[in-house]
Amino acid sequence: MGVLGGRPPSAPGATPSPTSEPAAAPAPAASEPPRPDEARLAQQLEQRFADVQAKRDHFYVLGVSQDASRDQVKTAFLNLAKIFHPDRLPPSLPHMAPKITAVFEAIREAYEVLYDDTRRKTYQQNLQAQQTLPKPPSSAPTAPVLRPQGRADSNADDLYKMGEVFFRKRDFTTASDHYDRAHALEPKPLYLAARAWAIYMDPARKADMAKAKQMMADAVRADPNCDRAHYQLGVIARVEGDMDRAERCFREAVRANPKHLEANQELRLIDMRKKNPPKKGGFFR
């Protein structure tokens, strides 16, 4: 899941009931506008999130050339992480939490692919192949892809893999649909956890965040070795600021799958944080 990453839920009680205060009550202090540096960060986040939605390539996301060295890729990642890691989000911008999470996951995915020579070579080949594909005439409607019955649409594993493709493209609705159909055909906890993550990451489904977390918990209950569900719950706990719970979830993910790349990376970051506590207001110094 070189592409994997979490999204925080809206703070409960953030929107007061119309009847909770008299009509003439003054606005709460939390409504004060952010400081200039925080406003600047909000603008940067909006632009970065637009780039994520536009599915920019990994080189564009990191701001490096296609012949950049591994050291240059790593430096670009670290510089961006100091700005866009979810722990850097000021308390005055809680509404930006889902966007900064999506932005950081895109940055981390780009780093993981471009820093690995084998994955980078494959990625560049795919980019070149896409660029050489003939574009259909603008007047010609795009025909849906029809699949013979008895094949992909009736194979749970194929549906799951197709869901992964759509998830990487950040088409969360279509990904969720494929995961759901896979789970209906074969109720594996893995498919349930994948669908929950697609729901959780979808900005249009904020109301379903609690449901998504419960689905992940159900996946763990059904299969304690579902590393995907453990990892996802760890990301959510980290974003919510519960680092003890996050560490437990990441360790469970690694216990179930010692080669889980993202969970191991999270644990390394946690260990670094313990050895070198960050200054107030951020994970990175």
Give the domains, in start order, of the chain with CATH numbers. 36-130 (1.10.287.110)
Average the pLDDT over 228-244 and give the result: 91
Question: Worst-scoring range by mean pLDDT, 4-18, 44-58, 106-120, 187-201?
Answer: 4-18
The rounded distance, in Å, linking the Cα atoms of 6 and 97 is 10
Average the pLDDT over 59-74 and give the result: 91
Q: Where are the alpha helices (DSSP H) in the chain?
A: 36-53, 58-62, 70-84, 97-115, 117-132, 156-168, 172-185, 189-201, 209-222, 227-239, 243-256, 261-275
> Which single residue is written with the structure tokens 């900005």?
203
Average the pLDDT over 253-259 and give the result: 93
Say which DSSP state 280 is in. T
Tell me the pTM: 0.50
Predicted local confidence at residue 12, as pLDDT: 43
Structure-token pair, residue 28: 């709460």
Check: CB of residue 270 under 8 Å from CB of residue 257.
no
Whether the predicted pLDDT of 176 surpasses 80: yes
The amino acid occupying position 80 is L
CB atoms within 10 A of CB 78: 11
Check: CB of residue 133 under 8 Å from CB of residue 83.
no
| φ, ψ of residue 85 in degrees (nearest 5) | -65, 140
Predicted local confidence at residue 96, as pLDDT: 84
The rounded distance, in Å, linking the Cα atoms of 243 and 59 is 31
